[in-house]
């Protein structure tokens, strides 16, 4: 039988190694016609569906996790970019090369902004749920990023931005892969369900024909 | 759902080939994708409306008063002109996202349209590909 698990080497998979479900186009060819083969095939198909469903559940959870993580990273990145932009401007080294495509007229405006920007940045931040406090932030080149596992590390703004951007891109890529995997899994599940139904119907028809002919001999039960 | 009569069973069962099955699967994939994208698109559109509201509000704001602008989890007190600049940036990025999503919606719809023609041609009434049954 072509579905045997030993033949993994030639089974098609998607980029993340999830195997492709075989399609049974002709039940007669697929089964060798004995009762036991019908039963074992049905069982095997059901088992494969269960496996696919289990994978589907896992990937769904992974996707949900990423859906929560991505906005967090994006928010942090937005803040770092804001701080960096502010600092760059203060230092008068606003990277003219970087933004000159759309910021030409903005640059003029920035000139007058600079004077007023000298004061420390005033922020309102959440101290606890529904409780906010004000803080003034002194100009600094460093930001502290939570790396997880109760570790916080100081990064220069440039590096923080680079790090967060790459993390964001990575998370988005992983999410895209997860979505692709889900689509793939759903497809395989459909194929397997169709296979199951085909074999089952084929069996029903065969039994009925056997009964109609009154040939009990072919029926081993 | 209904049970088929025994006679109908054999007659109506047009042979579903591997090719057809793949088409059906692809159709279902597009359908699922379309729903996901439309949900997301809806969210982004609401977000954009919020941004529009903010822009309106800032038009009316006092130039000399600092604006409390939320970035991430924190609110920063900045000048009006700066807030407007940041807002403009956000507007731009959300517009890009929305148009990107709309392109993908179109892609899905076109794919589904093509498959519908093929599948209805082969299976006729035996298959239903409409999201809203009439």
**Residue A125 with chain B: CB contacts under 8 Å:** 73-75
More confident position, A6 or B24: B24
pLDDT at A88: 83
Quote the minimal CA–CA distance from B134 to chain A in Å.
25
Chain B positions in Cβ-Cβ contact with residue A78 (cut-off 8 Å): 71-72
Using the predicted structure, report yes or no on whether residue B16 has a pLDDT greater than 60.
Answer: yes
Residue B95: which domain range? 18-59+90-124
Contact assignment for B36 to A179 by CB distance below 8 Å: yes
pLDDT band at B7 (very low <50, low <70, confident <90, very high): low
pLDDT at A2: 42
Q: Is the ipTM of this complex over 0.95?
A: no
State residue A172's pLDDT score: 94
Number of domains in chain B: 1
Residue B95: which residues within 8 A CB-CB, separation 6 or more? B48
Would you state the pLDDT for residue A56?
A: 94
Residues in chain A closer than 8 A to B71 (CB atoms): 75, 78-79, 82
Q: Residue B79 — pLDDT band, cuts 50, 70, 90?
A: confident
Higher pLDDT, A114 or B26: B26
Identity of the residue in A109, A125, A190 whose CB atom sits nearest the CB atom of B81: A109
Please state, rounded to an integer, the average pLDDT across all residues of chain B.
84
B132 CB within 8 Å of a chain A CB: no
Q: Which residue of B has its CA nearest to A187?
A: B25
CB contact under 8 A, B77 and A121: yes
Q: What is the pLDDT along chain A (221 residues), one digit of tens a residue?
A: 444 444 444 678 888 888 888 888 777 777 766 667 788 888 889 999 999 999 999 999 999 999 999 999 999 999 899 888 888 887 765 444 444 444 444 444 444 444 445 667 888 888 888 888 988 888 788 888 888 788 989 999 999 999 999 999 999 999 999 999 999 999 899 889 888 888 888 888 888 888 888 755 554 44
Residue B130 lies in a domain: no
What are the boundaries of each domain within chain A? 18-94+141-206
Look at residue B44 and tell me if it is in a domain: yes
Residue A205, pLDDT score? 85
Instruction: Calculate the alpha carbon distances from B53 to A95, B8, B63 in Å.
Output: 31, 60, 18
B73 is a domain residue: no
- Distance (Å, rounded) from C-alpha B118 to C-alpha B54? 48
Q: What b/e string do you get for A17-32 counting C-beta neighbours within 10 Å, with b at 16 or more?
A: ebbebbbbeebeebbe
Question: Number of C-alpha atoms within 13 angstroms, CB side, residue B61?
Answer: 20
- Nearest-CA distance A36 → chain B (Å): 25
Residue B30 lies in a domain: yes
Please give, rounded to a whole number of angstroms, the shortest distance from the CA of A137 to a CA of chain B.
10
Q: What is the pLDDT of residue A8?
A: 43
pLDDT bracket for residue B4 (50, 70, 90): low
For B41-94, give the secondary structure using H, E and C: HHHHHHHHHHHHHHHHHHHHCCCCCCEEEEECCEEEEECHHHHHHHHHHHHHHH
Q: Is residue B51 included in any domain, yes or no? A: yes
| Topology given in CATH for the domain delimited by A18-94+141-206 | Helix Hairpins (1.10.287)
Q: Is residue B98 over pLDDT 90?
A: yes
């Amino acid at each position: 039988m072509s579905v045997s698990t030993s033949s993994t080497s030639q089974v098609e998979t998607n980029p993340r190694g999830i195997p492709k479900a075989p399609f049974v186009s002709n039940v007669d060819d697929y089964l060798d016609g004995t009762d036991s083969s019908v039963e074992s095939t049905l069982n095997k198909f059901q088992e494969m569906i269960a496996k696919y469903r289990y994978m589907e559940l896992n990937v769904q959870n992974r996707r949900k996790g990423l859906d929560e993580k991505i906005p967090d990273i994006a928010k942090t990145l937005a803040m770092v970019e804001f701080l960096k932009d502010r600092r760059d401007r203060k230092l008068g080294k606003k990277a003219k090369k970087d933004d000159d495509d759309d910021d030409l007229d903005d640059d003029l405006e920035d000139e007058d902004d600079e004077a007023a920007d000298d004061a420390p940045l005033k922020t309102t931040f959440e101290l606890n749920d529904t409780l906010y406090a004000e803080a003034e932030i002194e100009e600094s080149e460093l930001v502290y990023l939570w790396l997880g596992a109760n570790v916080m590390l100081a990064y220069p703004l440039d590096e923080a931005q680079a790090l967060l951007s790459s993390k964001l891109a990575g998370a988005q890529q992983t999410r895209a892969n997860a979505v692709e995997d889900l689509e793939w899994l759903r497809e395989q599940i459909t194929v397997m369900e169709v296979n199951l139904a085909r074999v089952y119907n084929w069996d029903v028809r065969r039994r009925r024909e056997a009964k109609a002919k009154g040939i009990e001999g072919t029926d081993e039960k | 759902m209904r049970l088929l009569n025994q006679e109908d069973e054999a007659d109506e069962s047009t042979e579903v080939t591997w090719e057809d099955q793949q088409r059906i699967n692809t159709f279902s994939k597009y359908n699922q994708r379309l729903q996901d994208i439309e949900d997301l698109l809806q969210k982004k559109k609401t977000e954009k409306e919020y941004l529009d509201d903010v822009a309106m509000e800032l038009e009316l704001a006092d130039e000399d008063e600092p604006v409390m602008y939320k970035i991430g989890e924190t609110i920063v007190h900045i000048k009006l002109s700066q807030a407007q600049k940041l807002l403009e940036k956000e507007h731009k990025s959300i517009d890009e996202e929305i148009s990107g999503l709309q392109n993908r919606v179109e892609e899905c719809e076109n794919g589904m349209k093509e498959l519908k023609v093929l599948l209805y041609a082969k299976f006729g009434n035996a298959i239903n590909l409409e999201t809203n049954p009439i």
